Every structure is written in structure tokens, then in C-alpha cells.
């Protein structure tokens, strides 16, 4: 058993090394790079970059003020300063969340103690080169002075200095500035970051599933303690704590429908488009027992349903003029985020198997204008610990009040809230907040004061399942349900505008009938999807498609899926995998992936009549357990992605990694439960999952 454990450990670490997830284009302030209309004059970046012309000329000024006395040193330092315009600037400059004044300079000598690092090939010794060229050259306002790095040291001013004044030797200097970035991939070697084109990636032959549950759930969240347990919730408002079986054990998941972890059905308004839409467990849940539910309520049925109406004079919306599709009053239905505790007994929250449905604190309440399109997923950012709330445009075909583009409306937005620092009631009122939370200092409002302070991203229609990549949390990916033509997947970055309702995916939408032809100012800052599909691809009927976002697959179980973003269509029961090519470029190509049900599935799959293919029904959501195994939550039950060979799909990488693990009882990563936590300090969530059925389609 000990041997098997060791092999398991070895294999799970091996797979992580084979294909480390690396960087993707992102600027120092965590915004996405923007497209340049003309190449930068000084830094000469073209295409996409993290600088605009203003910043380019600031860099030029800085460069001139350095008055570098030799041309050799001058020409090596210019690209160093310009690296902040690189589309990969965040990777180059930000180490452990702290931006540095100069990028990480490629260094040939890597510490050999850590075997994972010795795998990295750094071909150019740029740091050493820079030292050899510039060590004795005088530089004014040197960015290499130690005090600028936040270390105690010689104060810097416009005084002229040489590197040798601050640093005793090359080794000393390169220890401070050299290396590879935190994810062991990108460093600056004097040239803009280039990625290798690997050619069109070969899509996997298929996705092999096994059925491990009969129930129909909207959300799944792995237990924050890293164990083989996960929470599942139903649209009606019950949450269960289940155990996830070992692959190949032949067991279904352990979930007793008759004894939920918590039952919130008294508060939750359950109807086609309404119910419990999301849940999130605090990153320190195992210690503090804090958890959060996102659900809809009905003002006429539950006294706690008391939010302000999102249709109000701030956003040019008169509730008395709104007609809802089912005769309900506008804002009769609301979206609520409520906090609960699993610490009531005072015992260790990670041991809790149930919790009281008594609300500890109301985080957020907002009345909804119509009856559909209100998202509702919540999840904690794995790096910042803030709560992200995904909100749709509120329904109504085409977003008739243009809420999604309105900086004053929280509809059609992704919000980012601090639930650890709650303000006093008077401060809440002063800031006109929608509940009990505070605003993270670096929310986009810090740079655009017209935005409501809660907003992280705008221009969404109905974000239906977002996830942070567990290997590279800067990849925050959301699927956004379309209107008539197109279902999209976006990489969400700070302050990004994803286009709805000006665009539906790549297609002009509100623009079509707009009388104003001068739309260039409106369009220049929109971010277009990285993946998606036309409705015609899954269904000939207009509007009858609805994307369900998934995860970047990070399990060792199916090595041919590793690193691919898996997502589906709610109605079509179709699944796609998106692959990045070149790797880490942000360019994705996508293909529909066949799937089937593996032999020895713990629960027999139901087949589509006249076929051997499994019938999943609606794909509500996806989940990721603590082993990073991917779970499909469908109307027909709970399915897990298993080794491709169990479905007779060939995957040469599987053969390579499973040579020593025979038989269906030896999953390649049986030993990975706790031994392989994500890099971030926060151990949990990311996940989650859902649906809205017909509500996703607009009236
Ligand atoms: C950017 O510059 C490179 C090299 O100078 C050139 O090959 C490329 O075509 C340019 N791209 C654009 C979009 O101008
Ligand atoms: C360049 O970017 C800065 C900071 O993001 C902004 O303040 C400035 O207005 C931009 N300048 C131009 C010309 O777009
Ligand atoms: C730049 O350096 C030269 C000598 O190296 C000096 O004569 C000149 O005054 C300096 N210029 C500025 C603006 O500091
Ligand atoms: C810098 O100057 C010192 C003293 O002149 C010399 O010993 C050293 O080799 C020089 N360093 C470099 C990197 O040129
Ligand atoms: C830099 O020098 C100027 C004038 O030489 C002085 O006023 C200023 O206080 C100095 N700044 C620092 C941080 O030492
Ligand atoms: C960089 O290289 C120097 C020698 O050139 C070495 O002493 C140092 O440890 C290296 N630093 C890092 C962070 O790799
Ligand atoms: C890119 O390809 C070259 C040549 O094939 C290889 O030496 C280098 O390590 C690759 N770089 C990355 C970042 O994969
Ligand atoms: C799931 O449903 C099937 C068919 O109704 C039944 O045979 C099986 O026992 C159920 N399994 C579990 C674990 O509930
Ligand atoms: C958990 O409960 C215990 C006893 O009831 C209490 O002392 C403690 O402060 C609670 N912890 C949190 C984080 O609420
Ligand atoms: C929404 O935007 C469209 C297109 O810009 C415009 O025609 C329409 O009047 C706007 N609707 C409202 C309620 O402001
Ligand atoms: C544009 O106008 C046409 C014809 O009046 C209409 O069918 C269509 O729905 C309109 N599109 C939008 C986005 O309002
Ligand atoms: C896989 O192949 C084996 C041997 O050819 C066959 O017995 C089995 O039914 C196949 N399984 C599936 C799921 O197609």
C-alpha cells in the first residue's frame, strides 16, 4: 500500500511537471493588454501591449533621465524599461503579488536543490550580460538601487550611480534581479516574450465518464479542507456533504438525500428560473465555519426579501413601467447572498456534518427587474480571498434598459466584494452599498470613478459558471450565455468590458439598429470572447442554446485533457475542449469532444435511444474536486471524467503515465488528495457550478 501511495505521489507530481501551466497575457495592474492602433513610438511594441502612447512617452522620459553614459549599456537597458509594455508584463514584473521596478532578468544559474526548477531551460544569461555591460556605467535615477526594491539601502535620488555602488558582485546583483518568475516560466531575456508555436493541438479522442450519482444538482464545491469530500446543492435550496469515491472502487458517491448539510428551502424561491444559484465556502472555512449561499427570494413569501430594486432612477429605469413576463411586480424576486456558519456547536468546523439554516449576516440583496438572466454564482478568488458575484443583465430580451453597459447598474456585471471587512450601517448607507461588505481598494472604481464600486467587469449577459484555473489563478474564465446567435467564453480581467449588449459574442447586437454611426469610442475598449459557438452549431432553432462554463482540466486522471478548458451546452448535452495554441498565448482553438460512459461505471449510464452514447440530459454545471477531477452535474445525475482507456479512447500519455498502475482500481492520482494542494494559500473553492433552464433563454 505504501508503495502504491508513493507511485501515486510520483505520478501526480510528474504530470504537473510535464505540462506546467504558465503565463498568459496580463498587465502589471492585472488588466488585459490592449490592442494598439499604431506601434509604440519609443518601445516599438505593436499588436497588443500593456502601454498606450502616453505611457510609452513616460518610459522614454524615464530612459532619457537616466542619462546612461555608454551606448552599449543604453541599448541593453532600453528593452528592460520597455518590458512593462510587454503583454506578459504581469508575469515579468509581479512576484508574490508585489510588482518590482524591473522585470525578472533571465539568469542561467538556477538553484539545483529543487529538482523541478532544474527542468527549466534558460538559454540566455541576460542578467549576467547586463551586469557585464553596465556594472561600471553611471546611471541617474537607477531603477536597480536596492531602496527601490523596498529593501533598506542607499537612498536614491537623481544622483548618478553605478551598479557596483549597490551590488558587490554579479552574483549579488543577479540574486536580486535574476531568476525565473514565480511560476517558473517567464523571465526577460532582452526580447519581447515569445511563445513557441506548437502547431494545432490534437484534440483528445474523447472524454470518458462514469456515473457516480443519481441526483440533479446545480452546484458542487470541494471541501476546503482538501479531503475527498464535496458539497452539492440543489436548485430548491438544500446542500449536502458527500464523499467522492476513488476511481475504480466501483462505488457511487456517498450522499444521503435525507440528511442535508443545511436546508435553506424556507428562504429560497424555487421556480424554473429561480432557486439557489450558488454557494461558496470561506477560504478559512475549516477554521471559521463561514459559508455563503446565493439564492433568489420572493418578497411576497419571505420577510427577509427586502432589497432595493435594481430598476431605479439611478439607471433611468422606472419600475412602474416595467412589465414582467409572468405578471409579477418588478423586484418582487430578488438575489440574495447570505452568510451561515458551521461553527454553531463550537466544534471544529471541518468536522461539521450539518449546519443551522439561520442567517448570520446578509451580505447582499438586490431586486430583479425581470424573471430571467440573473446568474448568481459566487466564488472566492484563490489569490485575493475576495468574493466574486456573477450577475446577469436581469433578463428582458436584448437588455432593453442597457443595464450591462451602465456603469451605475450592478446588472450584467461581475462584482468583487470584501466579506471579511464589513462596514458599519452608517458607512454602508453613505456609500449606498447593497448590503454588508466593503470594497477592495483596488477594484476598478479606483481608476474609473463612474463605476459602481462593486464592479470588477462589465458587459456580461448571463455569466453561467466561472472558474479560476487552479494552476494559474490569473485565468479567471467565465461562460456567458448568449441571446440569439452566439454562446461565448471569456477570460475575465480587472475592468474588462465583455461587450453585451453592443455585441453578442463577435456579432454586433445593439449596434445593428443604432441610429448613431459614430460608435468607435464605444467599441475600442471591448474584450471579445476567447471561445464560443454559434447556436446553429448545436441547434437550428434560434435562441435554443445556453453555454455552461467548466474548468481548465488539471487532473492527472486523463492526461490528454490536461490544460484544456472543458465546457458544455445546457440543452444540447454537447461538450467542448478548448486548447491554447501557442501555449499560454491566450489564443484558444476549440473542438467538440465525443464522450461515452466507461465500463464498470458505478451506476449504469442511460443511453440515448438507438445509440450507445450516454444521455446526460441538461448539463447544468461542472465541478472540480480536491484531486482536480472534473465532475459534470447534469439533470440525469453526476458524472466524473475518468481514464480514457475505460472507454477505449486512446491517449498515449495515459499509457506513458500508467505503466505501473494496472487495472481499474489504480487511478493515476489516488494519492493526490491532500498531497497536491493548489499553489495558492487558499485551498479551496474555485469551483462551482448550475442552471436556470428556460430562463437562460430570453422571452
Ligand atoms: C509587429 O512587428 C513585427 C516585427 O517588427 C512584424 O513582423 C509584425 O508584422 C508586426 N505586427 C503588426 C501587427 O504590426
Ligand atoms: C493611457 O493609459 C493611462 C493609464 O491607464 C490613462 O490614464 C491615459 O488616459 C491613457 N492615454 C491614452 C492616450 O489613451
Ligand atoms: C549626462 O551625463 C553627462 C556626462 O556623462 C553630463 O555631462 C550631462 O550633464 C548629463 N546630463 C544630465 C541631464 O544629467
Ligand atoms: C568595473 O570596474 C572595476 C574597477 O575598474 C573592474 O575591476 C571591474 O572588472 C569592472 N567590472 C565590469 C563588469 O566591467
Ligand atoms: C532629491 O533631491 C532633491 C534636490 O536635490 C531634494 O529636494 C529631495 O528631497 C531629494 N529626494 C530624496 C528622496 O532624497
Ligand atoms: C543568478 O546567477 C548568479 C550567478 O550568475 C547566481 O549566483 C544566482 O544564484 C542566480 N540567481 C538566481 C535567482 O537564480
Ligand atoms: C521553444 O522552442 C525552442 C526550440 O524548440 C526550445 O529550445 C525552447 O525551450 C522552447 N521554449 C519554451 C518556452 O518552451
Ligand atoms: C441510481 O438509480 C438507479 C436506477 O434507478 C438505481 O438502480 C441505483 O441504485 C441508484 N444508485 C444510487 C447510488 O442511488
Ligand atoms: C466558533 O465557536 C466558538 C464557540 O462557540 C467561538 O468561541 C469561536 O469564536 C467561533 N469561531 C468563529 C470563527 O466564529
Ligand atoms: C439602449 O441602447 C440603445 C442603443 O444604443 C438605444 O437605442 C436605446 O434607447 C437604449 N435604451 C434605453 C432604455 O436607454
Ligand atoms: C433590429 O431591428 C429589427 C427590425 O426592426 C428587429 O427585428 C431586431 O430585433 C432589432 N435588433 C435589435 C438588437 O434590437
Ligand atoms: C472496449 O474494448 C473491449 C475489448 O475490445 C470491449 O470488450 C469493451 O466492450 C469496450 N468497451 C467500451 C466502453 O467500448
Q: What is the 244 CA–ligand 8 centroid distance (Å)?
A: 16
Q: What is the 440 CA–ligand 10 centroid distance (Å)?
A: 31
Q: Domain map of the chain by residue range?
A: 20-177, 204-260+546-676
Q: List, in order, residues 6 or more apart from 603 with CB less than 8 Å away.
A: 211, 212, 213, 214, 252, 637
In tens, the pLDDT along 368-381 reads 999 889 999 999 99
In tens, the pLDDT along 79-101 reads 999 999 998 898 888 877 778 88
Provide the pLDDT for residue 156: 52
Closest CA to 670 of 229, 228, 349: 228
Ligand 6 atom closest to the Cα of residue 175 is 11
Task: Using the predicted structure, report yes or no on whether residue 624 has a pLDDT greater than 90.
Answer: yes
Provide the pLDDT for residue 652: 81
Task: Using the predicted structure, report yes or no on whether residue 497 has a pLDDT greater than 60.
Answer: yes
C-beta of 258 in contact with ligand 7 (< 6 A)? no
Which of 510, 513, 522 has most ligand 10 atoms within 8 Å of CB, for mutation? 510
Provide the pLDDT for residue 676: 32
In tens, the pLDDT along 299-357 reads 999 999 999 999 999 999 998 888 666 677 889 999 999 999 998 766 789 889 999 99
For ligand 5, atom 10: residue with the closest CA: 157
Show the DSSP H helices in 558-682 as ranges.
652-658, 672-675
Q: What is the 401 CA–ligand 10 centroid distance (Å)?
A: 7
Distance CA 611, CA 582 (A): 37
Distance CA 610, CA 614 (A): 11
For ligand 5, atom 13: residue with the closest CA: 157
C-beta of 502 in contact with ligand 10 (< 6 A)? no
Mean pLDDT value across the chain:
83
The residue with greater pLDDT, 522 or 306, is 306
Mean pLDDT value of segment 677-695: 27
In tens, the pLDDT along 65-84 reads 998 989 999 999 999 999 99
For ligand 1, atom 7: residue with the closest CA: 46
What cell does 283 get? Answer: 477560504
Distance CA 562, CA 394 (A): 35
Which of 196, 198, 580, 581 has most ligand 7 atoms within 8 Å of CB, for mutation? 196
CB-CB contact of 282 with 381 (8 Å): no
Instruction: Give the number of C-alpha atoms closer than 13 A to the C-alpha of residue 293, restricted to the C-beta side.
Output: 32
What cell does 223 get? Answer: 471541501
Task: Give how far Cα 639 sits from Cα of 154, 465, 690, Å.
Answer: 61, 17, 14
C-beta of 122 in contact with ligand 6 (< 6 A)? no
The residue with greater pLDDT, 2 or 145, is 145
In tens, the pLDDT along 562-590 reads 999 999 999 888 999 999 877 777 788 89
Provide the pLDDT for residue 694: 29
Mean pLDDT value of segment 598-616: 87
Q: What share of the chain is helix, strand, coil (3-state, %, to 5)?
A: 20, 25, 55
In tens, the pLDDT along 38-64 reads 999 999 998 889 999 999 999 999 999
C-beta of 178 in contact with ligand 6 (< 6 A)? yes
* CA–centroid distance for 660 within its chain: 34
Residue 30 pLDDT class (50, 70, 90 cuts): confident
For ligand 2, atom 2: residue with the closest CA: 52
Which of 398, 513, 514 has most ligand 11 atoms within 8 Å of CB, for mutation? 513
In tens, the pLDDT along 231-248 reads 999 999 999 999 999 998
For ligand 4, atom 13: residue with the closest CA: 132
Task: Using the predicted structure, report yes or no on whether residue 27 has a pLDDT greater than 50.
Answer: yes
Which of 27, 31, 55 has most ligand 2 atoms within 8 Å of CB, for mutation? 55
Residue 277 pLDDT class (50, 70, 90 cuts): very high
Q: What percent of the chain has pLDDT over 90?
A: 57
Mean pLDDT value of segment 125-138: 91
In tens, the pLDDT along 413-433 reads 999 999 999 888 889 888 899
C-beta of 53 in contact with ligand 2 (< 6 A)? yes
In tens, the pLDDT along 451-460 reads 999 999 999 9
C-beta of 69 in contact with ligand 3 (< 6 A)? yes
Least confident of 123-127, 218-222, 556-560: 123-127
- Residues having CB within 6 Å of any atom of ligand 12: 599, 647-648
Task: Using the predicted structure, report yes or no on whether residue 276 has a pLDDT greater than 60.
Answer: yes
Sheet holding 414-417, edge to edge: 378-380, 387-390, 414-417, 455-457
The residue written with cell numbers 468583487 in the block is: 416
The residue written with cell numbers 532582452 in the block is: 190
Amino acid at each position: 500500500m505504501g508503495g502504491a501511495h508513493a507511485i501515486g505521489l510520483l505520478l501526480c507530481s510528474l504530470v504537473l511537471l510535464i505540462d506546467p501551466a504558465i503565463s498568459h497575457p496580463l498587465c502589471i495592474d492585472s488588466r488585459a493588454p490592449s490592442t494598439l492602433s499604431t506601434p509604440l513610438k519609443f518601445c516599438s511594441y505593436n499588436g497588443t501591449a500593456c502601454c498606450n502612447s502616453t505611457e510609452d512617452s513616460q518610459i522614454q522620459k524615464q530612459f532619457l533621465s537616466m542619462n546612461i553614459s555608454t551606448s552599449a549599456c543604453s541599448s541593453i537597458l532600453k528593452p528592460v524599461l520597455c518590458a512593462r509594455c510587454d503583454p506578459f508584463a504581469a508575469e515579468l514584473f509581479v512576484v508574490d503579488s508585489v510588482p518590482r521596478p524591473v522585470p525578472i532578468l533571465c539568469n542561467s544559474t538556477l538553484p539545483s536543490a529543487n529538482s523541478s526548477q532544474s527542468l527549466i531551460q534558460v538559454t540566455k544569461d541576460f542578467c549576467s550580460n547586463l551586469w557585464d555591460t553596465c556594472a561600471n556605467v553611471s546611471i541617474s535615477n537607477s531603477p536597480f538601487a536596492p531602496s527601490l526594491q523596498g529593501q533598506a539601502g542607499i537612498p536614491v535620488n537623481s544622483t548618478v550611480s553605478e551598479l557596483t555602488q549597490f551590488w558587490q558582485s554579479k552574483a549579488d546583483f543577479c540574486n536580486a534581479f535574476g531568476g525565473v518568475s514565480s511560476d517558473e516560466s517567464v523571465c526577460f531575456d532582452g526580447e519581447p516574450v515569445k511563445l513557441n508555436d506548437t502547431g494545432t493541438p490534437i484534440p483528445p479522442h474523447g472524454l470518458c465518464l462514469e456515473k457516480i450519482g443519481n441526483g440533479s444538482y446545480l452546484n458542487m464545491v470541494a471541501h476546503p479542507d482538501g479531503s475527498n469530500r464535496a458539497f452539492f446543492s440543489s436548485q430548491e435550496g438544500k446542500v449536502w456533504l458527500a464523499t467522492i469515491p476513488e476511481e475504480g472502487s466501483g462505488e457511487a458517491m456517498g450522499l444521503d438525500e435525507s440528511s442535508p448539510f443545511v436546508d435553506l428551502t424556507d428562504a429560497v424561491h424555487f421556480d424554473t428560473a429561480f432557486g439557489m444559484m450558488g454557494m461558496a465556502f470561506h477560504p478559512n472555512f475549516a477554521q471559521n465555519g463561514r459559508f455563503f449561499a446565493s439564492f433568489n427570494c420572493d418578497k411576497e413569501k419571505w420577510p427577509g426579501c427586502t432589497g432595493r430594486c435594481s430598476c431605479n432612477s439611478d439607471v433611468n429605469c422606472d419600475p412602474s413601467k416595467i412589465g414582467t413576463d409572468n405578471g409579477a411586480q418588478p423586484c418582487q424576486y430578488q438575489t440574495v447572498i447570505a452568510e451561515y456558519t458551521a461553527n454553531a456547536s463550537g466544534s471544529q468546523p471541518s468536522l461539521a456534518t450539518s449546519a443551522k439554516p439561520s442567517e448570520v449576516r446578509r451580505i447582499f440583496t438586490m431586486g430583479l427587474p425581470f424573471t430571467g438572466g440573473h446568474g448568481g454564482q459566487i466564488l472566492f478568488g484563490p489569490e485575493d480571498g475576495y468574493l466574486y458575484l456573477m450577475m446577469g443583465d436581469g433578463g428582458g430580451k436584448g437588455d432593453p434598459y442597457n443595464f450591462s453597459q451602465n456603469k451605475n447598474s450592478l446588472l450584467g456585471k461581475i462584482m468583487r466584494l470584501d466579506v471579511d471587512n464589513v462596514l458599519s450601517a452608517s458607512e454602508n448607507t453613505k456609500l449606498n452599498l447593497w448590503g454588508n461588505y466593503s470594497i477592495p481598494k483596488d477594484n476598478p472604481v479606483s481608476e474609473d470613478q463612474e463605476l459602481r464600486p462593486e464592479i470588477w467587469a462589465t458587459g456580461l449577459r448571463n455569466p453561467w459558471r466561472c472558474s479560476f484555473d487552479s494552476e494559474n489563478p490569473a485565468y479567471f474564465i467565465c461562460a456567458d450565455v448568449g441571446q440569439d446567435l452566439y454562446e461565448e467564453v471569456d477570460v475575465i480581467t480587472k475592468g474588462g468590458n465583455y461587450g453585451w449588449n453592443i455585441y453578442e459574442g463577435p456579432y454586433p447586437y445593439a449596434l445593428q439598429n443604432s441610429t448613431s454611426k459614430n460608435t468607435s469610442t464605444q467599441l475600442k475598449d471591448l474584450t471579445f470572447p476567447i471561445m464560443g459557438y454559434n447556436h446553429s452549431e448545436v441547434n437550428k432553432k434560434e435562441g435554443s442554446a445556453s453555454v455552461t462554463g467548466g474548468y481548465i482540466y488539471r487532473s492527472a486522471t486523463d492526461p490528454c485533457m490536461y490544460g484544456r478548458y472543458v465546457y458544455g451546452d445546457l440543452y444540447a448535452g454537447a461538450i467542448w475542449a478548448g486548447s491554447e495554441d501557442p501555449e499560454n498565448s491566450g489564443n484558444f482553438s476549440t473542438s467538440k469532444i465525443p464522450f461515452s460512459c466507461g465500463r464498470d461505471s458505478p451506476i449504469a449510464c442511460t443511453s440515448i435511444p438507438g445509440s450507445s452514447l450516454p444521455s446526460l440530459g441538461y448539463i447544468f454545471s461542472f465541478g472540480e474536486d480536491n484531486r482536480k477531477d472534473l465532475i459534470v452535474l447534469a439533470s440525469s445525475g453526476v458524472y466524473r471524467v475518468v481514464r480514457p482507456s475505460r472507454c477505449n479512447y486512446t491517449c498515449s500519455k495515459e499509457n506513458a503515465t500508467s505503466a505501473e498502475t494496472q487495472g481499474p482500481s489504480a487511478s493515476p492520482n489516488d494519492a493526490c488528495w491532500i498531497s497536491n494542494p493548489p499553489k495558492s494559500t487558499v485551498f479551496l473553492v474555485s469551483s462551482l457550478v448550475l442552471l436556470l433552464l428556460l430562463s437562460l433563454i430570453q422571452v
